[in-house]
A and B are shown apart, each in its own frame.
Chain A
Amino acid sequence: MSEKKPSMGKQKQIAISEFFEKNKHFLGFDSLQRAIITAVKESVDNSLDACEEVRILPDIRIEVKRLEGNRVELITQDNGPGIPRDSIEHVFGKFLLGSRFHAIRQTRGQQGIGITGVVMYSQLTTGAKTRVVSKVKDDATAVFVDLGIDTRKNKAIKSGEIRGTWIDNVTGEEVDHGLRIETVMNAKYQRGKQSVYQYLRMTSIVNPHATITLTVQDKDGEIIEEGHWERTTDRLPRVVKEIKPHPHGIHLGTLQRMLREAEERKMTSFLRHNFSGISMRAAREILEKAGLDESRQPRRIRTEEAQLIVNSFQKVKVLNPPTDCLSPIEDLLIKKGLSKAIDSRFASTATREPQVTQGNPFQVEVGLVFGGDLNSDSPIEILRFANRVPLMYQQGGCLLTKALESVDWKRYGLEQPGGRGIPKGPVAVLVHLASTNVQFTSEAKEAVAANEEVLEEIRRALLEVGRGLKNHLKKSSQRKKAQEKFELINVILPEISKKSSQLLGREEPDLAPIITQIMNAVFCEEELGWDKERKLATCEITVFNYTARARAYTILAKWPESDSVAMKENPMGGRKEAHGLWAWRLDTLNPGASATISFSLSGLGRGDWGDTDIFFRGNGDIIGATKIDEKLLEELRNREALRAAEEEVRSKDDPVIDGLAERAEDPLQDPAREKIFDMGSLAPDQEVVE
């Protein structure tokens, strides 16, 4: 769009307002209900991006006030770096100011419409100006200014600018840095699935580092809706790197532009310097396949020759683009984000390794929560995100939904009428697609376009969390059964014995042999708790032998071992079996006897540890625990040993080996970690993925 304008020459330049008016459907302002959501979205996206750039934990406040008629006042405020006085007109008054438009990295917005659209929409529908208050840390005072847009010149009109002290109207304190936007527009605030509330709730899930507050007031100042989402982590998303384009995703036009602007003198160096993934060998091969001489000057390449290069890009094997341009949310934070927004009993997450499709790196993350407040009779809730931005419209036409529908959820314990489509149950599923170039079905960016490779990745991630869910359901039904049995033998049976003896005036019988007969199994019960005073997460594992024979076992438990989490108390001793897996050898358990293992962990918050897995080693099954897969355990240990060795080498500070180790880290570390935290994977009877 921006490139077209200069070449229009004699033709009449379209006023930007006219362009806006005609295209408001894909700018997100096509209906009154959507306008307010889009306005909130643009301003929240800006706030989050700005805060991340200067590494500030974002605090965002949104106020919506219903006014007379269809008017709505929107106030948004953040604690970001603020905008220097001289840049305010640029940021709010110019369309297509694409600081992010050309860069190849993962960003929230890409259009360059942004907040200017909000100012424009407000002006078009109400004639009102937008008030901006901005405070930059280094300035002594804040800038207060009213903005309008000169639609002919694509420029902001400032008025009433003053400088002064900015006192926050909620806290009553002086604001050190931040930005506040007050605007009035034609819009309609509504509740429900597609609402500002839902948008912010979803945003808070994928931005666990942000605190977001929403208040909605009626005409008479009465608060009709409120939302507050506190941050669950103080860790900001990692800074994403900009990358060079990858040959597999390049179009002829782009290549031609790059050739024109090239400073290199030889084609080989042009290819190596301007693209990611092209080595000297690959560059030579590409040129050979295209029939071009290596020493040709890039600027002299003709169109037909450029086409030949584009063609040969596809024929030559090149390295994948680097993936550090992506910023995944990561398992633990997805879990925290989801449990903050949705009350649930169980959460399972999967972060896939980055992949590449058509020269664009992408990464898929999936989270699933189950139980709690979620409605069990209705279709599951699908939370779709692209680059940390919630997708709220066109659910049915979206690739993320299609991937979810392609899974046979019955196998994972959910109801799926007709064996296809969106399953039913008390479940919410989050799907996040991070990519340098998310392909949408339309300009409105409402749904992700079809792509086989992306679909397959999402599917695999969904199967992974599906296995977690299945495991959880199996475990809870097992636990329920065990609890029933315990109640039977500990409560009901003694009462039957007492009552019948009393009625008949006979002696009470010995119940031990009956209990053995009823249970005829070894049971294991674990209970996770929280020691409020000492801030320790506790775990108690009890093993009961209700068989007629003596049994001997080693019990293994999974715990969230990390640099910050440590075993605090562990009177039974035992030993470390692998990373995050502790083992205790139990004394022989005689029939009717039980043994208890208890330990506590420091470095965790309340509710951080909600789930563990118990494994055993020994003869005879234990209800409530899984037999450990020794082969998998062995593999796990080998990987760890390798990693430890690597760590040691690296600590010697040898730059060459440092690089090697870094490269070796990913394939080694991640599958192992994934394995151990993938619930129940240490069990021998693994389900096979289709």
Chain B
Amino acid sequence: MSFSSRKKSKEEVIQALHGVASEMHDKMVKGIPPTMTLPVRSKSNIGFDQKLGVYKYGKKKTVRDATSLGSARQLLRSLHVTEFVEQMIHAGKTSTLREMYYISEGWGNGKFHSQNESNNLAEDLEIITKCLREDFRLRPEDDGARIIGNVTFEERNRRGNWMRSTAETMWVTPAMGCRTMWSRRNSD
């Protein structure tokens, strides 16, 4: 399994998402309750990739099928998200996770009850389709993502000289750039 950092094309994203829908449809055609297969999201199913220096999901899969009301709802919701992403791709628009949550209010039986639910489902779809949420045209809210750990920054000061700074914790908001909510340890 490899997450490519390369930005996927529109067609690739749509195709990947259609894979989710077609898994459901194929099952139904066979007279079997629709399913959605995703990697087990537990600590035992992640391993550290030495080469890339990131944690990756292992091989264990879990199947969400429509035999209980809760998981059937999840399936319906992923179809709604798929449709929403497709519309955005065609219209060349983007949206934030929060916006999607609010838009989902109009999805009838496929609506979310809390933003956590919609965030988690977006994450599920990222994993299944091996896409990034940016591919889905979903961007985090301003102040929405967090990097934890030591980060080194290089920035140019007013005199035009490069300077490095190392921060222990820092908040990153792609729209606004850096926010100075970090403790400066050393600057040389």
**A interface residues with partner B (beta carbon < 8 Å):** 484-485, 487-488, 491-493, 495-497, 499-504, 506, 509-511, 513-514, 517-518
Contact = CB atoms under 8 A, between A and B. Distances in A.
B172 interface: no
B31 interface: yes
B21 A503 contact: yes
A517 B110 contact: no
Interface in B16-37: 18, 21-22, 24-25, 28-29, 31-34
A49 to B, nearest CB: 57
30 contacts: A488-B66, A488-B68, A488-B69, A488-B72, A492-B72, A492-B109, A493-B33, A495-B76, A495-B108, A496-B28, A496-B66, A496-B75, A496-B76, A496-B79, A499-B80, A499-B110, A500-B24, A500-B28, A501-B25, A502-B83, A503-B18, A503-B79, A503-B86, A504-B22, A509-B31, A513-B31, A514-B31, A514-B33, A517-B31, A518-B67
- Name the residue among B18, B69, B108 with the largest chain A CB count within 10 angstroms: B69
Given A496-B66, A500-B34, A504-B22, A514 B82 contact: no
A493 B29 contact: no
A487 B73 CA distance: 10
Given A503-B21, A504-B18, 17 more contacts: A484-B69, A485-B69, A487-B69, A488-B69, A491-B109, A495-B76, A496-B34, A496-B72, A497-B28, A499-B79, A499-B83, A500-B24, A500-B34, A504-B22, A511-B28, A514-B28, A517-B32
B73 A500 contact: no
Nearest to B25: A500
A503 B78 CA distance: 12
B68 A514 contact: no
A366 to B, nearest CB: 38
Contacts of B73: 492
B32 A500 contact: no
Contacts of A510: 31
Contacts of B80: 499
B128 to A, nearest CB: 15
B113 to A, nearest CB: 15
A515 B68 CA distance: 12
Contacts of B22: 500, 504
Interface string B167-181: 000000000000000
A492 B68 contact: no
A510 B31 CA distance: 7
A488 B79 CA distance: 16
A504 B25 contact: yes
A306 B75 CA distance: 88
Contacts of B28: 496-497, 500, 509, 511, 514
Please classify the interface of chain B as helix (H, G, I), strand (E, B), loop, or mixed, using the class held by over half of its residues. Answer: helix
Nearest to A491: B109
A500 B66 contact: no
Given A509-B29, A518-B33, A503 B83 contact: yes
Contacts of A518: 33, 66-67
Nearest to A484: B69
Given A499-B80, A501-B25, A493 B18 contact: no
B18 A499 contact: no
A485 to B, nearest CB: 7
B37 to A, nearest CB: 15
What are the 8 A-B residue pairs with the smallest beta carbon separation, nearest first? Answer: A513-B31, A509-B28, A499-B79, A484-B69, A492-B72, A500-B25, A500-B21, A509-B29
Contacts of B21: 499-500, 503-504
B16 to A, nearest CB: 13
Contacts of A513: 31
A488 B66 CA distance: 8
B69 A509 contact: no
Contacts of A493: 33-34, 66, 72
A506 B76 CA distance: 17
- Name the residue among B22, B33, B75, B109 with the largest chain A CB count within 10 angstroms: B33
A514 B69 CA distance: 14
Nearest to A516: B31
A495 B76 CA distance: 7
Interface in B82-105: 82-83, 86
B74 to A, nearest CB: 10
Contacts of A504: 18, 21-22, 25
B1 to A, nearest CB: 25
Contacts of B108: 495
A497 B31 CA distance: 12
B25 A506 contact: yes
Contacts of A499: 21, 76, 79-80, 83, 110
Nearest to B29: A509
